[in-house]
């Protein structure tokens, strides 16, 4: 049998519990809408949050790998551009050596040709000196290979140094003034070989870096999509839930008001 009391009202307590529950649910929904996350902390869902944190760590690792590969690719790209410039310049150097081989040249003509050849070789040294990226020059004499981590498993990508190009240009400069025909057969031939080898090697290394970057990007996209499926909120559904909770809150308040009127009803018994 229900007890009529002015000290205790079970209906009021039930209404209060209902209002509190709806307010908590409404707060959770509003947080999901404002952050876009269904799992924003371990309090929301400990296991899903832990999984999400692990995936975020993987994404950060992939970002760091991509940054390292891009830096390595920059050094290879600059070196490739320098080697291409030297390759374009090689035909002019060859022409000057052939012209110097002409026994019919006057002393004055040979001097002009020697000066022209010297300028071309200085230009070649300029190409090498300018082939530096972030402190790394793959064409200069004594250059070392550039190795970068390319996966979370510790795999690496290596761009081979092409210091032979710098050595060849220096040797060609040292032979300036010697027998042009001999220089063509020896120092110039070595220079051409070094430049062509550099172009082929650098091009292959850049293709490998590009392919690895594409692979990492695909993995990053898939990981980010998986992370979203775990922790992201469905904003369409949450907006509908928010509207529903607003109606429930209003109804609970009305129920609470009705429950509070029971004490007034008791007063009627004493009139």
Residue 220, domain CATH: 1.20.1330.10
Look at residue 1 and tell me whether its pLDDT is greater than 50. Answer: no
Mean pLDDT of 49-75: 90
What is the tens place of the pLDDT at every residue in 160-199? 999 999 999 999 999 988 899 999 999 999 999 999 999 9
* pLDDT at residue number 50: 87
Element (H, E) at 151: none
For residue 56, give the 3-state DSSP assignment.
helix
Look at residue 129 and tell me whether its pLDDT is greater than 50. Answer: yes
Give residues with Cβ within 8 angstroms of 221, minimum separation 6: none
Distance of CA 152 to the CA centre of its chain: 14
Residue 161 lies in a domain: yes
For residue 148, give the 3-state DSSP assignment.
strand
* pLDDT at residue number 11: 61
235 touches 33 (CB < 8 A): yes
Residue 129 to residues 48, 142, 159, 166, 204: CA-CA distances in angstroms? 53, 13, 18, 9, 23
In angstroms, the CA 268 to CA 271 distance is 5
Residue 165 lies in a domain: yes
Burial of residue 27 (CB within 10 Å: 0-12, 13-18, 19+) is: exposed
Residue 81 lies in a domain: yes
Q: Which domain holds residue 218?
A: 52-131+146-231
Element (H, E) at 263: helix 262-268
Length of the chain: 271
Residue 248 lies in a domain: no
* pLDDT at residue number 245: 61
Residue 121 lies in a domain: yes
Residue at token pair 């039930």: 14
* pLDDT at residue number 45: 77
CA proximity to 260, closest of 1, 3, 16, 2: 16
Residue at token pair 């692990």: 54
Mean pLDDT of 1-5: 50
Higher pLDDT, 52 or 72: 72
Which pair of tokens denotes residue 172? 């060609």
In angstroms, the CA 75 to CA 132 distance is 7
* pLDDT at residue number 103: 83
Look at residue 30 and tell me whether its pLDDT is greater than 70. Answer: no
Residue 1 lies in a domain: no
Residue 126 lies in a domain: yes
Bridge partners (DSSP) of residue 209 are none
Max Cα–Cα distance, the chain, nearest Å: 140
Which pair of tokens denotes residue 30? 């509003």
In angstroms, the CA 166 to CA 49 distance is 54
Higher pLDDT, 161 or 236: 161
Mean pLDDT of 103-120: 90
140 touches 163 (CB < 8 A): yes
Look at residue 246 and tell me whether its pLDDT is greater than 60. Answer: yes
Least confident of 77-81, 109-113, 157-161: 109-113
Q: How many structural domains compose the chain?
A: 1
What is the pTM assigned to this prediction?
Answer: 0.73
Bridge partners (DSSP) of residue 117 are none
Residue 26 lies in a domain: no
In angstroms, the CA 99 to CA 93 distance is 10
* pLDDT at residue number 262: 58
């Amino acid at each position: 049998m229900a007890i009529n009391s002015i000290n205790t009202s079970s209906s009021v307590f039930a209404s209060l519990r209902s209002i509190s529950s709806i307010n908590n649910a409404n707060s959770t929904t509003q947080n999901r809408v404002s952050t876009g996350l269904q799992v924003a902390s371990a309090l929301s869902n400990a296991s899903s949050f832990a999984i999400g944190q692990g995936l975020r760590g993987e994404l950060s690792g992939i970002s760091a790998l991509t940054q390292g590969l891009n830096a390595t690719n920059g050094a290879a790209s600059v070196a490739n551009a320098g080697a291409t410039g030297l390759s374009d310049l090689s035909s002019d150097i060859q022409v000057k050596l052939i012209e110097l081989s002409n026994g019919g040249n006057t002393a004055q003509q040979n001097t002009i040709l020697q000066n022209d050849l010297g300028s071309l070789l200085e230009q070649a040294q300029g190409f090498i000196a300018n082939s530096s990226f972030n402190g790394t020059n793959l064409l200069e004499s004594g250059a070392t290979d550039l190795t970068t981590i390319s996966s979370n498993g510790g795999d690496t990508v290596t761009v081979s140094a092409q210091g032979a190009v710098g050595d060849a240009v220096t040797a060609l400069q040292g032979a300036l003034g010697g027998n042009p025909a001999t220089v063509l057969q020896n120092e110039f031939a070595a220079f051409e070989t070094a430049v062509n080898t550099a172009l082929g090697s650098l091009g292959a290394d850049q293709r490998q870096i590009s392919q690895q970057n594409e692979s990492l990007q695909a993995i990053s996209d898939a990981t980010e999509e998986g992370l979203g499926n775990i922790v992201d909120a469905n904003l369409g559904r949450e907006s509908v839930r928010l509207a529903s909770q607003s109606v429930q809150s209003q109804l609970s308040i009305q129920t609470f008001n009705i429950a509070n009127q029971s004490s007034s009803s008791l007063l009627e018994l004493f009139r």
